[in-house]
Amino acid sequence: MREDPTEMSEDDDRTTDLAGGGTIVVEASSNKTRSCGGNGGGGVGVGTIADYCPSPYPDQVLENVLENVLLFLTSRRDRNSASLVCKSWYRAEALTRTDLFIGNCYAVSPRRAIERFKRVKSLVLKGKPRFADFSLVPPNWGAQFFPWVSAMAAAYPWLEKIYLKRVSVTDEDLILLAHSFPAFKELVLVCCDGFGTAGLAAVARCRQLRVLDLIDDEVNEDDVDWISCFPESVTCLESLIFDCVESPVNFDALERLVARSPSLKRLKLNRHVNLMQLHRLMVRAPQLTHLGTGSFSTSDNPAQADQEPDLSAFATSKSLVCLSGFRDIVPDYLPAIYPVCARLTSLNFSYANINAEQLRPVICQCYNLQTLWVLDSVCDEGLQAVAATCKELHELRVFPMDAREDGEAAVSEVGLLAISEGCRKLRSILYFCQQMTNAAVVAMSRNCPELVVFRLCIMGRHRPDHLTGEPMDEGFGAIVMNCKKLTRLAVSGLLSDKAFSYIGEYGKLIRTLSVAFAGDSDMGLTYVLKGCPKLQKLEIRDSPFGNLALLSGLHHYYSMRFLWMSTCKLTLEGCKEVARRMPYLVVEVIGDTDEGDIDDSIDKLYMYRSLEGPRADAPSFVTIL
């Protein structure tokens, strides 16, 4: 799974009291949803607080001042702080929110959210745990969109924007959405499933649609020509992303759509669009800034197989700053993108199987690059070329060609060390490898102290420093000691409890921690739960943590968004004890079958805070304690 680059930032969560008890993840976020252009028409005016409820203030001037001040607060942190000042501010803040962020769809019901927030125009809703991306959450676990869209259809007819992540969406949901919100403008679906092209056709008919982004979704093929359903007149479309759609699209209809969309800036194509078709689209839309190339090869049509594609559109483009796609790549065509390399700030080669020699002529011209995603097929030599040129690099992701634990080692500590020495402005890194050394990780902590995200995934289980044979404790310890702004950390390899003691002692800003195949005993997790006050999301798999570790975090669970533990050493009694002592925490035990009985040994545990208590739609393989 390749996440969209716009999703790299950490959620800035703050809990807020709702209806006099418990905590909730319902927050304002004007910058979390994509904003494409101005406010447009068809929405609902802001109004005043007095329009919604009797004024609680004797002084009307004070009321108006408060409302206007709160309208300037756009961050969730500021809004949540304002809502805690007093009851009057609590009410006023709720009535001036237009952007609603819900980090867990089961943390609050649609009814409760609607009762508090009366004039929402934008919704961000997240569903399944992140480990669903790795098939660790069984199918049909939940996170349905229907309860939300049906409630919002009645409460927010002026709704304009929806962003969903890991939510199950049906065609009927999308049809209801399209029919219920006449001013609807933006739909972003990330890692969602359950819908098909029939639902997309309904959304395409929304006359004010500006954004339709499908990112890493599973889209059902039902032979509906959804591209032809966009309005025949000039459209408002600014972003169209469908690279995850596996079925072919009507290219003639797509070409006509692009031609009548003068505001289109982002276009990402699926693998059924070849290079010759890409050229035609680029000629129609010279204003594009973000382009996903689809298949970077010629047509599969035998009649066109011998035709060389016209790639001159890259040479005439003056606006491209972001390139991705490159599926089914023919490296011989890569020189076509040379004319735009100097302007690129983002380059995604995560589907391009190219080696260091093929990468080097491209990357040596990308001296303004800030974001780079590549496969490890570029090897250490390719990363050395990146380090020599890309001095402005902020984010690097290196994905594995072969994700097996015993796969071939393509990149190593050599590439990581080169990046740390050459890319001193790095703020985020995801690095898959088969071997690593403490020295290389320590060097990165010293050379790149501005790191906010550090995710090192050593794919083999319990791999030590391959030169010294020592655990990787000192490397990860250096990261949390020297990178003072670190908020997200993923650890792997052979780690003792000492590494976790470093995290607990120095990781005071860490909000998301992912642990795989690491740790000695319960003390490791105890160090983290007692030492990381900002921790919001904790994901653990295949680690030796048991009941004592779990119970050590009772003081902290109400302030966290969730805890996931799979294939650890938990027992049913330990999980029941947490549920007994924390009644506002939902404790789910997830099995792999539909049988209701659970063994004393727990395979998967998912815990999250909720104002609603246990959910009503839990499948038979989920037991809520």
Question: For position 291, what pLDDT does the model report?
Answer: 97
Are the C-beta atoms of 109 and 582 separated by less than 8 Å? Answer: no
Query: Tell me, what's the pLDDT at 598?
Result: 65
User: Between residues 4 and 462, which one has the greater pLDDT?
Assistant: 462
Q: Which residue has the higher pLDDT, 157 or 19?
A: 157
Evaluate whether 597 touches 13 at the Cβ level (below 8 Å). no
pLDDT at residue 116 greater than cutoff 60? yes
- The reported pLDDT for the residue numbered 596 is 52
The pTM of this model reads 0.88
Does the pLDDT of residue 38 top 60, yes or no? Answer: no
User: 61-95: which CATH topology?
Assistant: Monooxygenase (1.20.1280)
pLDDT of res. 595: 57
pLDDT above 90: residue 311:
no
pLDDT for 504 equals 96
C-alpha–C-alpha distance, residues 484 and 507, integer Å: 8
- Residue of higher predicted confidence among 38 and 577: 577
318 has a pLDDT exceeding 80: yes
pLDDT of residue 299: 65
Short-list 386, 393, 402, CA closest to 369: 393
Residue 183 confidence (pLDDT): 95
Q: What is the mean pLDDT of residues 160-187?
A: 97
Q: pLDDT at position 59, please? A: 52
Per residue in 419-445, pLDDT (tens digit) is 999 999 999 999 999 999 999 999 999
Q: What is the pLDDT of residue 15?
A: 34
Mean pLDDT of 551-557: 94
**In contact, 353 and 401? CB cutoff 8 Å:** yes
For residue range 365-405, list pLDDT tens digits in order.
999 999 999 999 999 999 999 999 999 999 999 999 987 77
Q: Where are the domains of the chain?
A: 61-95
Cβ pair 370, 344 in contact under 8 A: no
Q: Could you tell me how far CA 245 lies from the centroid of its own chain?
A: 18
Beta-strand ranges (E) seen in 553-603 are: 562-566, 585-590
Of the chain, the percentage scoring pLDDT greater than 90 comes to 74
Q: What was the pLDDT predicted at 594?
A: 59
pLDDT above 70: percentage of residues in the chain = 87
Residues facing 144 on adjacent strands:
168
| Mean pLDDT in residue range 61-85 | 78
Q: Which of 89-93, 290-294, 449-453, 472-476 has the lowest mean pLDDT?
A: 89-93
Tokens 């195949």 belong to residue = 517
Whether the predicted pLDDT of 103 surpasses 90: yes
